[in-house]
């Protein structure tokens, strides 16, 4: 759990480092302009890191499931090599999945307006500025949101089994301990997923 928390904090630190300086520049110094290449790079990094955070939260749900539902097998299931494999997947899978977005955006023709109604470079916000066909961008964006929501479904399934195992346990102290451990994780999931999905779907 602590390895996943360390990975989550590193991703959160990188995500805020990428987005916040420009957002603060907009509000403090009225610096509304951004280079197109920097905008695409910011968009790629924000989406890649958001995907990595979603994968970490899914891995943490799996970790909680193993720790509560199969505690005696925890060290044999989540070995160091399994953790390394999960970490590699967490880091590289979202990056590979987000790469086509940069390609799609770079190959769009832009004609007149170049104003994004957003505080950071968002995929569909940039694509809507194009005077070309953005159907592939919209389809790929919906695929991204669908995979994002698939993580929510998988987390929900793991918590269904966790709660079932917790409430079958005879000890009330064990129930409270398990619920308090999972409660903070569920809070982080809500704080992360609700604004993200709302932001994606509004565009």
- Indicate which CATH number applies to the domain containing 128: 1.20.1070.10
How far is 155 from 135, CA to CA, in rounded Å? 31
* Res 17: pLDDT: 87
Place of tokens 């346990």: 169
Give residue 156's domain range.
2-202
* Res 152: pLDDT: 87
Which residues, 6 or more positions from 138, have their beta carbon under 8 angstroms from its beta carbon?
Answer: 124, 127
This prediction has a pTM of 0.84
* Res 113: pLDDT: 66
* Res 32: pLDDT: 73
Mean per-residue pLDDT pooled into runs of 10, the chain (203 residues): 86 86 80 80 89 90 87 88 91 91 86 74 84 88 86 89 80 74 79 78 67
User: Structurally, how many domains does the chain consist of?
Assistant: 1
Residue 157, Cβ neighbours under 10 Å: how many? 12
Asked if 134 and 140 touch (Cβ cutoff 8 Å), the reply is no
Place of tokens 């603060």: 24
| Widest Cα–Cα separation across the chain | 67
């Amino acid at each position: 759990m602590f390895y996943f928390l360390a990975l989550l904090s590193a991703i959160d630190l990188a995500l805020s480092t990428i987005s916040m300086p420009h957002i603060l520049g907009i509000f403090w110094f009225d610096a509304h302009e951004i280079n197109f290449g920097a905008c695409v790079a910011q968009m790629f990094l924000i989406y890649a890191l958001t995907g990595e955070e979603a994968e970490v939260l899914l891995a943490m749900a799996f970790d909680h499931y193993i720790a509560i539902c199969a505690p005696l097998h925890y060290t044999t299931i989540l070995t160091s090599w399994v953790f390394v494999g999960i970490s590699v997947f967490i880091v590289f899978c979202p990056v590979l999945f987000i790469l086509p977005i940069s390609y799609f955006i770079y190959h769009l023709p832009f004609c007149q307006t170049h104003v994004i109604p957003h505080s950071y470079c968002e995929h569909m916000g940039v694509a809507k500025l194009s005077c070309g066909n953005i159907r592939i961008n919209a389809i790929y964006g919906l695929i991204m949101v669908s995979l994002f929501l698939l993580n929510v479904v998988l987390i929900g399934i793991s918590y269904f089994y966790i709660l079932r195992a917790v409430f079958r346990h005879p000890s009330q102290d064990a129930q409270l301990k398990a619920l308090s451990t999972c409660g903070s994780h569920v809070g982080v999931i809500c704080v992360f997923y609700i604004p993200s999905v709302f932001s994606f779907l509004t565009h």
